[in-house]
Amino acid sequence: MAKKVQIELGEAELEVMRALWDHGPQTVRDVMERLHERGRTVAYTTVLTFLTRLEQKGVVASDKRDQAYVYKSKISRQSVTMSRIKALVDQLYDGAAAPMLAQLIENERFTPDEITHLRKLIDDLDSKGS
Amino acid sequence: MAKKVQIELGEAELEVMRALWDHGPQTVRDVMERLHERGRTVAYTTVLTFLTRLEQKGVVASDKRDQAYVYKSKISRQSVTMSRIKALVDQLYDGAAAPMLAQLIENERFTPDEITHLRKLIDDLDSKGS
DNA sequence: TCTTACCTACGACAGCGGTAGTAGAACGCT
DNA sequence: AGCGTTCTACTACCGCTGTCGTAGGTAAGA
């Protein structure tokens, strides 16, 4: 379970990953359309560049099918999220997650349902123990 | 209280901000020493560049005292944290904080004390309401 | 006064990420 | 066979960030 030392993804690259996470393996053209839907109207070759770089970084894989390559994500959204949060917590709180979590809880607005859900998550922590 | 639309800080810049947050207003040399203590052995002029850029970005202020300028942060650690988290949540979860929070709670290890504290925070949300 | 030490201003450079153009291969239609 | 469409490979460029070096000011000691 060796974690990549760092999964370094830019903002646009992340949106490409999202397209793959949300809609499964796709061609360059597919991904481009997803990005356009989300308001990022980039050129076809730009998307190609993104995917090529992501493949070099080892976070997506491609295989030729019919005319075009189909790209799929090799990493989970969760691993990226956690990696990012970890970086954040390290950079701002020396790795202590609790204070950041506290701040997050205090500053965000949650619906009653969400609150109930969060409480349940916290409760579950007890039984699990550290 | 209009927040900057975006507080865009690099990783090294963030460490400079931390030095200012943790130890108050300081000279270039002071900040450099803080960075060295934290294992970032950068040159004096590099720190100077950081502080100059941060001032251009409007997040630190300087005033001349004796020989050297003393720099101080103009923004709070909290605002930066929230801004970063917001970016993260937007980028990965379309702005829905709860799912990310949930993932964070599930993946991090907390001490019993921290759990108690977190529970209290959640409880307080109820009384406060949205 | 000359030297030394420290400070700031300015310029430079490389790597990365976002963005795209062009060239050339491959496929299909006429 | 020739043409248009589509795909990939390559190259390029700009702005930002991390990193310094050099040059020139100024204060303080020899």
User: Nearest protein residue to D28's C1' (by CA)?
Assistant: B67
User: Nearest protein residue to C20's C1' (by CA)?
Assistant: A46
Q: Give the CA angle between residues A74, A8, B38 to the nearest 5°.
A: 140
Domain that holds residue A102: 77-128
| pLDDT mean across residues, chain A | 90
Same domain, A68 and A91: no
Q: Which 45-64 positions of A have CB less than 7 A from strand C?
A: 45-46, 48-50, 53
ipTM over 0.90: no
Same domain, B29 and B41: yes
Distance B67 CA to C2 C1' (A): 21
Q: Is residue B17 part of a domain?
A: yes
The closest nt to A44, taking CA to C1', is C20
Indicate yes or no: CB of A18 within 8 angstroms of CB of B92.
yes
Same domain, A26 and A64: yes
- The span from the CA of B82 to the CA of B86, in Å, is 6
- The span from the CA of A31 to the CA of A10, in Å, is 16
Same domain, B68 and B96: no
Q: Can you tell me whether residue B102 is helix, strand or coil?
A: helix
Same domain, B53 and B35: yes
- The span from the CA of B30 to the CA of B33, in Å, is 5
Residue B68: beta bridge partners? Answer: B65
CB distance B116 to A102 below 8 Å: no
Q: Is residue B103 part of a domain?
A: yes
Structure tokens at B120: 């209290």
Same domain, A101 and A64: no
CB distance A88 to B85 below 8 Å: yes
Same domain, B67 and B107: no
Distance B49 CA to D25 C1' (A): 18
- The span from the CA of B30 to the CA of B19, in Å, is 9
pLDDT tens digits, residue range B78-129? 899 888 888 888 898 888 888 888 888 888 888 999 999 999 999 988 775 5
* CB burial of residue A73 (10 Å; 0-12, 13-18, 19+): buried
Same domain, B97 and B67: no
Same domain, A28 and A57: yes
Which nucleotides on chain D have any atom < 7 A from a protein Cβ? 6-12, 16-22, 27
Pick from A58, A73, A88: which residue ends a domain? Answer: A73
Q: Is residue A31 part of a domain?
A: yes
Same domain, A96 and A124: yes
pLDDT tens digits, residue range A32-72? 999 999 999 999 999 999 999 999 999 999 998 888 999 99
Q: Is residue A5 part of a domain?
A: no
Strands (E), chain B: 60-65, 68-73
**How many structural domains comprise chain B?**
2
